[in-house]
Amino acid sequence: MMNAQRLSDLRNLGPKSEAMLRAIGIRTLEELATRGVRI
């Protein structure tokens, strides 16, 4: 029940939040890369 609720919440947030999450993920990957961490 919790998971279903969370999924619907994510869907309601829509593309804007998806883009934000992607931007955060990319920033994190870039930070790791600058520190010399192999992905």
pLDDT computed for residue 5 by the predictor: 76
Instruction: Give the integer Cα–Cα distance in Å for 1 and 3.
Output: 5
pLDDT computed for residue 2 by the predictor: 58
pLDDT computed for residue 14 by the predictor: 75
The helix or strand, by DSSP H or E, that contains position 20, with its residue range, turns out to be helix 2-34
pLDDT computed for residue 39 by the predictor: 54
Number of domains observed in the structure of the chain: 1
pLDDT computed for residue 19 by the predictor: 85
The helix or strand, by DSSP H or E, that contains position 38, with its residue range, turns out to be none
Q: What angle do CA 16, 39, 32 make, to 5 degrees?
A: 65
Domain membership of residue 29 as a residue range: 1-39
pLDDT in tens, 5-39: 776 776 676 778 778 888 998 899 898 889 886 65
pTM: 0.43
